[in-house]
Structure 1
């Protein structure tokens, strides 16, 4: 199958390479030339000078970009996907955007006789590299069935959640749970250290009880190691929590713990740490506590 892939960042790059290694003809485009470097030496990957040129050669176009305005630009802007895509082609957006934005994009694409699936993912850079992502898809069942074989090359868990936008609702729920839990783990380790107890031993104890979570296991270890290199950048988590809060306001729903976490991520980015991993909330707690490091 000819597959177009737009968005070759921390996660998009390994995802695109999985598709190529599975034997599909891969077509790529990127705003920044440096992101194309890993693909130039691969004779089976075709690099295009615009999204429309890419779409003209692809049956399926996958987008994995930062936010809804970026999706809209590559699909509908000058030289966008809709200018080159043949009727009946499929667009799969794996970015994290607002559910309402996904529904609006689907409606616009339908006017060009193009199908759409929103399929955001969870698992971060590691999950993208290992093809172990969780994929949450929204769209008609027949459209999901068409995309599913490709999605299973990228993730271990591929779930059709519901109609268009449902995948983004599931991703918003995911970001509530991950954001709040990252914050809770940082608070717990900070509390242990400031109480004079080894946070490494505390984490080890907690991993054996009901407090266990993959975030305590994986992100907690990164906090202990003071490894703040981005697997998922803090500014992206801030953006995602903004989507959550916008949806909560629209629905009139109280989300008190999510709201508090969103404010912490706002402070994290405002402190100049937006390019670090979201586990850098640990640094913020250290600053709140008079600058005492949790882990020396």
Structure 2
């Protein structure tokens, strides 16, 4: 994502809590800041993308004295809806705008600049940052602050549920006497076709669970979906089951690809397995 901004001609200052992770960007023209304050003090637009909401809050809180008034922070992390609102409130006190803009598309979408970007915030702030976000993918304003996180949770609900169903279909085909690979080929192009069936379905057949999106991230997202549902006063029974599926393998395979949902379904069916390939992590 940073390289795409540099390729588009934007001046970029990069900072990471572990400096060594940012240093390779220097070869592409980025200035590597030694401190957080140095990174943000002159910036009109600040983009954060971190592991979780509590980490984002810690970093924003540390940077508060250095932000210039009128700047806009775009947080592209996946956080709780409540955390996005808290970050907005923190920034508003020092005259800084905020857009929550989580993404979907994985490492492939990030490299190809084809990310789906779900933005929450004011229309005015969105219009200011839209040209920058358009370098990274397809930004869409979906509502006020925190609405971007809601849209991302909806995305992850569909992803987590679909992967679980694909895993069940693979195991059913195998156990009932059909070739899982041939089954996948047969149904592609019909109503069951999806990018997930294309990419992650093949990963399940290959038993290639090298991430990609990780089980620990999907489990965190499922937890946040259930929190959002509770706060909205609704019941999501399928999402509750999917949450259990991901948590059932979280301790054993936290860093495995999301397609390892297959391992969770196989765990529920001792002695049943898709294919003969060795598991690759």
TM range (shorter): over 0.9
Instruction: Say which of 233, 245, 264 aligns to 2:226.
Output: 245
Q: Indicate the residue corresponding to 1:188 in structure 2.
A: 169
Q: Separation in 2 of the partners of 1:106 and 1:164?
A: 7
Instruction: Say which of 261, 265, 276 aligns to 1:281.
Output: 261
**CA shift for structure 1 position 90:** 0.8
Instruction: Say which of 27, 30, 40 aligns to 1:41.
Output: 27
- Structure 2, unmatched stretches of 5+, are 277-281
Runs ≥4 residues deviating over 3 A: none
- Structure 1, unmatched stretches of 5+, are 1-14
**CA shift for structure 1 position 291:** 4.0
Q: Separation in 1 of the partners of 2:89 and 2:53?
A: 14
Equivalent residue of 2:25, what SS? helix
Deviations 1:212-238 (A, max 9, x none): 121111111111122211111110111
Deviations 1:254-279 (A, max 9, x none): 10110100111111212x20101111
Q: Separation in 2 of the partners of 1:64 and 1:257?
A: 29
Question: Structure 1 pair 144/198, CA: closer, same or farther in 2 (3 Å)?
Answer: same
Q: Separation in 2 of the partners of 1:128 and 1:166?
A: 21
What are the equivalent positions in structure 2 for 1:137-148 lying under 5 Å apart? 137-148=119-130
1:158 aligns with 2:139: yes
Between the two proteins, the alignment pairs up a number of residues equal to 276
TM-score, scaled to structure 1: 0.90
1:59 aligns with 2:44: yes
Q: Is the 8 A contact 2:23 2:32 kept in 1?
A: no
TM-score, scaled to structure 2: 0.95
Q: Is the 8 A contact 1:152 1:158 kept in 2?
A: yes
Deviations 1:80-135 (A, max 9, x none): 22221111111000011111211121111010000000111111111111111100
Q: Is the 8 A contact 1:54 1:81 kept in 2?
A: no
1:228 aligns with 2:228: no
Q: Is the 8 A contact 1:28 1:54 kept in 2?
A: yes
Deviations 1:9-58 (A, max 9, x none): xxxxxx1111111111111111223422422434x211112222100132
What are the equivalent positions in structure 2 for 1:130-141 lying under 5 Å apart? 130-141=112-123
1:129 aligns with 2:114: no
